[in-house]
Amino acid sequence: MDAMNPNLLVALALLVVPALYLFVFPKRTGNPNSKDDKHQPLDGGRSKPATLRSILSELRIFLPFLLPKDRGVQRKLIYCYFLVGVCLAIDRVVKLISPMLLRRIVDALNSAEPTTQLPWVEIVLFVLFRKIGTKVIGRVSSSYRRRALDELTDTISMTLYNKILDQSSEYHESKEMGTVWRTVCDSGTSAVYYFSHVTVNQLPVILDIALGIGACWKIFDGRMALAMVTIIVLYVGFSAAIPPWNKEMLEEVIRLNQEASNIGLDTINNWQTVSYFNRTQHERSRYGKAVKASRESNIRFMRPVRSGDITRQLVASIGVGAVCLLGCWQIQHSSRSAGDFVLLFQFWDDLFTPLDFLVNLLPSTERYLAESQKFIEILQLEPKVKDKEGAAEFKLGNGSIRFDNVSFSYDGKRDAVKNVSFKAEGGKTIAIVGETGGGKSTLFKLLCRAYDVTGGSIKIDGQDLRDVTLESFRKHVSIVPQAIGVFNTTILDNLRYANLEATREEVEDACRAAALHKRILDFPNGYEEKVGEKGAKLSGGELQRMAIARALLRKSQIVLFDEATSNLDAETESRIQEYLRKWYTGRTVVVVAHRLATIANADLIISFKDGVIVEAGRHDELLAKRGYFHLLWEKQRLAWNPPKEGGEGKSLLASS
């Protein structure tokens, strides 16, 4: 082997450094005057592709997941990491040794001496190393890599799931839950595959390239190593010069794909509405357009990538020819053998195949990275309503409630609740009434601590809700909301959701009190009947009665009703109200009501209008004042029993 000329070392350095620069810091195109490329139009500016530097910087996100706190999972992952690392190391050695064995085999077979024996040892070792060894090692590595990825995917998915559950009402009411759930399901997989591509596929490729060039330098000479580096520089340079994937276009592809999926899911969830309004053809057209837009966006996105592949392959082919010519020239003008040519070709293949794989893998990694951005966004979410540091356990007393100058705004601009103050003794029934949009439900949500007040304070038994833990407070509260949520499981499971320890007898007693027991028995499977998606098998009134039964099973000291009987007929409502009046005894009950007759016996009625309290008192007191409450009462009376000709109609509400 020729001695390495110092000038060649300088030349190698001058070629390698620009190559690394192009690869790690590729040229960024787009508007040079723009300070933020994310505001460039989709067909104009280009954003940063996934570079080695950006990829490595993102890996820190995954570090907490590599060794979760669970010791059992830790041991499994360490075992898998170790075996995958050993397999990768063995594979590197095999790739170095097998070309040398092949050279010996070729030289032995090409020998001019007819008595030369077949190189059985080299042949057996080559087959074992190159064909059997690599396959076995690859299978073992793939198996344990898959096990590690499955563990990481489960860990990440559970982390995302817990993050979503911890979010407050503001998040859930503002997000499209179908998209959020797909993020939970898909982002974990994308994030794990992104990490896997970098650590198991890309980083070892860089080592392969270094080992391949070093081996050629050692076995041949510096001129061959310089030729290889030159070709690699040209290859990487052309790859860097090709316009990278446009990040905005990639985000558009993902967005349009999600929109098409959302339209399809939304249509299926609302099939009844589609059927009622005879909009089947409209929905087919809408979904078809969304799918077409998604497909066309993906085609536009992939077009420059395919063009770049052709250019890269042309450079690679020229490079193979150049190396082969140089090798042939050295063999012809020196004592090198045909085995050396085979060795050179094998080394080149082992070097350039992973390089080509690496360059082609970077765009895929960029896509995984873009898809895992939502995973990163969820990881960085902080709930608006959460336990403050050092929050105490809620200590239940008699359930007294005090609002001190409470204000709240959803958007930070307009107050939905303004300077509300009132006090209610424990064990009493408080009713909140007013016209639609007046702020009743907002007050209800603040009392549930679905939101935190932006001004003032809410205290229960003298404890500010922001100073106690959410879990300790909510376990003492029963809630009957307007929108009743049920799971697609059995009626019994849905009822027990309020109290997982409730017996069958307790469940049936609660259903009898809610006038639901007989209706449940009418189902073919009784309490074991599945309610369907979003309670499709139950009517609105049956869902409300189920919510009331849940509250009864909860057995809480503080009970909150939000329009709890709005979907019930008068007879059923009367029966339930009769039971509830007895059940209310000793409990603090807050009722948001639209039907004023249902709260005539409340200890305190608060009339709410435009986010402020306009009146407060008992039913008879407020009617005597002939103010806002009296106005609401008269409106309902006339709506229920309009006056007849020649006289006034009888008030159904007043007689109830």
Q: Where are the domains of the chain?
A: 52-379, 389-476+581-630, 480-555
The per-residue pLDDT for 59 is 61
The per-residue pLDDT for 32 is 37
pLDDT, tens digit, for every residue of 101-160? 888 888 888 775 655 677 888 888 888 887 777 788 888 888 888 888 888 888 888 888
pLDDT-derived band at 438, boundaries 50, 70, 90: confident
Amino acid residing at 58 = E
Q: How is residue 244 written in tokens?
A: 């990278």
Residue 617 carries which DSSP code?
E
The per-residue pLDDT for 466 is 94
Among the residue ranges 289-293, 633-637, 644-648, the one predicted with the least confidence is 644-648
Closest CA to 402 of 430, 371, 433: 430
Q: How far apart are CA 289 and CA 569, in angstroms?
A: 44
> What percent of the chain has pLDDT above 90?
22
| Average pLDDT of the residues of the chain | 79
Residue 187, pLDDT > 80, answer no
List C-alpha distances in Å: 90 to 131, 135, 333, 384.
14, 12, 36, 51
Q: How far apart are CA 236 and CA 259, in angstroms?
A: 36
Residue 22 carries which DSSP code?
H
Closest CA to 233 of 202, 209, 263: 209
| H or E element, residue 175 | none
Q: How far apart are CA 84 and CA 117, in angstroms?
A: 39
Higher pLDDT, 265 or 8: 265
pLDDT-derived band at 29, boundaries 50, 70, 90: very low
Angle formed by the axes of helices 504-513 and 570-583, nearest 10°: 120
List C-alpha distances in Å: 21 to 15, 17, 614.
10, 6, 70
pLDDT-derived band at 2, boundaries 50, 70, 90: very low
Amino acid residing at 379 = L
Higher pLDDT, 641 or 19: 641
DSSP 91-151: HHHHHHHHHHHHHHHHHHHT-S-TTPPP-HHHHHHHIIIIIIIHHHHHHHHHHHHHHHHHH
Q: Cβ atoms within 10 A of the Cβ of 545, count?
A: 28
Higher pLDDT, 52 or 478: 478
The per-residue pLDDT for 649 is 44
Name the architecture of domain 52-379: Up-down Bundle (1.20)
pLDDT-derived band at 638, boundaries 50, 70, 90: confident
Please answer whether residues 562 and 444 qualify as being in contact, where contact means their C-beta atoms are separated by less than 8 angstroms: yes
- Read off the pLDDT of each residue in 243-247 and give the average, rounded to a whole number: 60
Please list, residue by residue across 123-149, b when 16 or more beta carbons sit within 10 angstroms of its beta carbon and e when fewer do.
bebbeebbeebbeebeeebeebbebbb
| Chosen CATH of 480-555 out of 3.40.309.10, 3.10.310.30, 3.40.50.300, 3.30.420.40 | 3.40.50.300
pLDDT, tens digit, for every residue of 447-470? 989 899 999 999 999 999 999 999
Please say whether the structural domain 389-476+581-630 has been given the CATH code 3.40.50.300. Answer: yes
Task: Judge whether 389-476+581-630 and 480-555 match in fold.
Answer: yes
pLDDT, tens digit, for every residue of 216-231? 787 777 778 788 888 8
The per-residue pLDDT for 104 is 85
Closest CA to 430 of 447, 451, 455: 447
Which residues, 6 or more positions from 8, have their beta carbon under 8 angstroms from its beta carbon? Answer: 222, 223, 225, 226
- Read off the pLDDT of each residue in 199-228 and give the average, rounded to a whole number: 77
Residue 16, pLDDT > 60, answer no
Q: How far apart are CA 519 and CA 437, in angstroms?
A: 34
Among the residue ranges 136-145, 425-434, 492-501, the one predicted with the least confidence is 136-145
The per-residue pLDDT for 536 is 84
